[in-house]
Amino acid sequence: MLSKSLMLLLRFARRLGVRVVLMAALAVLAALFAPLFDGFIPKSLTERFGADAVRPILNILASSLLTVTTFSLGVMVSAFQSASSQGTPRAYRVLMQDGTTQTVLATFVSGFLFSLTALVMFNAGFYSETAAVVIFGLTIVTIVLIIAAILRWIDLLSHLGSMDHTLRQVENAAQISLQTNASAPNLGANRLIDMLPPPPGARPVFAAESGYVQFIDLARLNDALMEKDGVLWITASPGKYVLRDQPMGYISRADQGLCDSICDYITFGRERTMEQDCRFGLVVLSEIAARAMSPGVNDPGTAIDVVHRLKKLLWEYIQSLGAHDAAEQDSQDDEEPVLYPRIHLPATTASDLLHDAYGVIIRDAAGRVEVMGQIIHALQELATAPGAMGTAARAEITYARTHAEEAISNETDLDKIRRLAPAEGD
């Protein structure tokens, strides 16, 4: 399980500006430290690859790459805004973390800064003839990287901003979040299904600020609780919105100092994130389907596509949970399946996941027999799963049939739904 500091570092590293700044800094350093390699260059190379050979290339790169970077950045922003308007604004944050886009833009910026810095150094007389050979070699490497970036950019532009690309990016992010949750069910803490009254003497834990609970550093928090022999019941799991100075849990058998420091292990923010909130990815996909069903868009095909993607995500989540349970059964008896026994978290149930995935789509597509038919088919396949997921899927089928009966007035269409999802006694 990630620590809070590592999570913040990874979140910082996924920002577009960070990758651009790092590659640009490497390019500038390469240009500045080129003279250090003077002693390693044979004199025979200085006549062929001197300053006269490399300066025209640097002029071309410096004059063209800034324009290419500005144009590419405009295309990226326009494409992502288009995808956000067609799908959901929540998808924009997922698209901005696309590694290919960040690497391409960083390559263009670093190539521009390298060529510009090298030209300044040439004009200032900082480079010798042997240093010019080093710059020539670095320029060839830069050109190869730029060509590779352009090829990747051309391939990406063929689908950047399209609905397929948006759905694929959101689906991949949701899959990672669900698989992370499946590998450590309930994030490794005790399951808190129904919040019972806190034990006698338990103290409330107040939220440090208003916002979504984005991340809980469970490992460090559990260690702190063990030192003080405390037990923590958190009522606001990742993804929940809390208000400042309102209770978000209770702690027992601990001093006031530990009670006041609980929020130091919790990250709050203005938006939901997927690091520990496995339900958020399903919500984003369902919002895209709901937008597709709106009168202004009227695209039932996209809604059906989302239905199948959600089915795939939930089915693979069920399989991952089954593999985890089998691994626990094969493990030694003295191993503790709960990683953080001092912490209790609200359980993410199968019913929660299914309703997050299909609830909105069922309500918005209740009158669309083609979409409702695919939803019922998907739920019927999920209903074959053992345990809680199968039970929840069967309940969701009943929910879908109820909405369809209220929204569909044509008896022929309604009979199709009833044949697909027969009620008891039909």
119-145 pLDDT, tens digit per residue, is 888 888 877 777 788 888 888 999 999
Query: Among 122, 115, 128, which residue's Cα sits nearest to residue 30?
Result: 115
Amino acid 91: pLDDT: 85
Long-range contacts of 24-29 (CB under 8 A, 24+ apart): 24/106, 24/109, 24/110, 24/113, 26/110, 27/110, 27/111, 27/113, 27/114, 27/117, 27/142, 28/113, 28/114, 28/117
Residue 335 lies in a domain: no
Taking residues 82-102, report their average pLDDT. 83
pLDDT top residue among 32 and 309: 309
Taking residues 380-399, report their average pLDDT. 91
Same domain, 33 and 157: yes
Q: Which two tokens stand for residue 105?
A: 């833009």
% residues pLDDT > 70 (the chain): 90
**For the chain, how many helices (H) and strands (E)?**
16, 8
Rg (CA), the chain: 28
Same domain, 147 and 230: no
The H-or-E segment that residue 305 falls in is helix 300-330
Amino acid 16: pLDDT: 77
Taking residues 166-175, report their average pLDDT. 92
Q: What CATH code is carried by the domain that includes residue 259?
A: 3.90.1170.30
Same domain, 149 and 233: no
The confidence band for 285, taking pLDDT boundaries of 50, 70 and 90, is very high
Q: What is the per-residue pLDDT across 334-375, written as a single tens digit (0 to 9) for each?
A: 344 688 988 999 888 899 999 999 999 999 998 889 999 999
**Whole-number average pLDDT of the chain:** 85
Taking residues 226-238, report their average pLDDT. 89
Backbone angles phi, psi at 340, to 5 degrees: -125, 80
Q: Which domain holds residue 15?
A: 4-161
Q: What is the per-residue pLDDT across 34-56, written as a single tens digit (0 to 9) for each?
A: 777 666 666 656 656 667 778 88
Same domain, 251 and 386: no
How many CB atoms are closer than 10 A to CB 124? 8
DSSP state of 342: E
Backbone angles phi, psi at 203, to 5 degrees: -105, 140
Same domain, 246 and 297: no
Same domain, 258 and 296: no
The confidence band for 310, taking pLDDT boundaries of 50, 70 and 90, is very high
Same domain, 14 and 157: yes
Same domain, 124 and 145: yes
Amino acid 90: pLDDT: 86
